[in-house]
Amino acid sequence: MEYITGEQRPGCLFCRVLENPDDPDAELVVWRPRGALVMLNKFPYNPGHVMVAPAAHQGEVENLDDGQTADLMRALKRTIVVLREELKPEGFNIGANTGRAAGAGIPDHVHFHAVPRWNGDTNFMPVLAEVKVVNEHLLQTAAKLRKAFSAS
């Protein structure tokens, strides 16, 4: 509800944090590789839910050139390795929603979601209380992942 009813900041989230490391949303950035950006989702489905975006402001994957695509896929690949080592998930949901009709919350800047998954991570809370339990504060997860990216 905070996302739905909250104030929507102008401009593209990814471009804002790429261009301005002092932007308040930049506190969720965990890695800035060449040609891409990795940041925690402010409203995660699970702990460690990240978004991996190209530095290029493009709304569709097919509009990225080969170099931009390679940078994006390298960032996604390394992100999975770091998440696997640091959070020990048993699987991942990895995907991109392109276009508003497909559920893209940021339709003008393509990005992939990588959501760590564990057996039993879906429980009764969303069904009974309409809440999702995330067991670690986002800023703690961000600090842990920043350290892991810098170490590997």
Active site residues: 111
Which strand (E) or helix (H) includes residue 145? helix 138-151
C-alpha 19, offset from chain centre: 17
> What is the C-alpha to C-alpha distance for residues 147 and 124, in angstroms, rounded to an integer?
33
CA angle (53 as vertex; 11, 58 as ends), nearest 5: 60
Identify the three-state secondary structure at position 139: helix
> If we measure between CA atoms, which residue out of 36, 16, 17, 15 comes closest to residue 28?
17
Identify the three-state secondary structure at position 2: helix
